[in-house]
Amino acid sequence: MAGLTLGVLISGRGSNLQALIDACARADYPARIALAISNVAGAGGLARAEAAGIPTATIPHREFETREAFEAEITAALRRAGVELVCLAGFMRLLTPGFVEDWRDRLINIHPSLLPVYKGLDSHARALADGVRFTGCTVHFVRPEMDVGPIVAQAAVPVLEGDDEETLATRVLAAEHRCYPLAVRLIAEGRVRIVGERVSVDGAEGPERAVLNPLEG
């Protein structure tokens, strides 16, 4: 099935892009990736896309005098590819309000924390410093403010004794690889509605009970 047409923006290794590639390869998945764009030449994610037969483009931000000109080139490429939903997957550039508004409610991002906490960089280090028992990841619609927007899906990840940034990041990343394809599926199936600045998911069910950390003895 063809389904919703995706464009994915990356800057690095593209592990979340790979999660979307794997999801789109399933016969019952209601979306396909039409284009992967990187602002960094030689980014690892481009090779992942090419291996899957997905068209790629490199649009180096340093070659443009303004952010607006850089983003205009991205928008032109996305529109030529017929993209309906833009997925940020490790795209390390802040987007202008103009770009965000141009793609409003058609632009999503994944962030490695349970937003609205730990926006921005170093989310794992900050979670460890605060001693929280859970962290996680969030897929949300993008708004002009950084790491703000209606939340589509989240995954809670326990913080374990002895965790450091690397071990925690690895556990959160595994959750991201499940959460992002789920969020895209919900959107592609037409089950996601934005009411005010909150997401309502038709037919959605939550966990049956609370999860404790540490476990009861």
Cα distances from 173 to residues 18, 47, 141, 180, in angstroms, run 12, 20, 19, 10
Question: Active-site residue among 111, 124, 140, 177?
Answer: 111
Rounded distance between C-alpha atoms, residue 168 and residue 136, angstroms: 9
Contact 130, 113 (CB under 8 A): no
Q: Which amino acid makes up residue 173? A: L
CA distance 42 to 47: 8
**Residue 6 is encoded by which pair of tokens?**
């995706």
Which residue matches tokens 């990736």? 33
Instruction: Judge whether 10 and 36 are in contact, CB under 8 Å.
Output: yes
Say whether 111 is catalytic: yes
Residues with catalytic annotation? 111
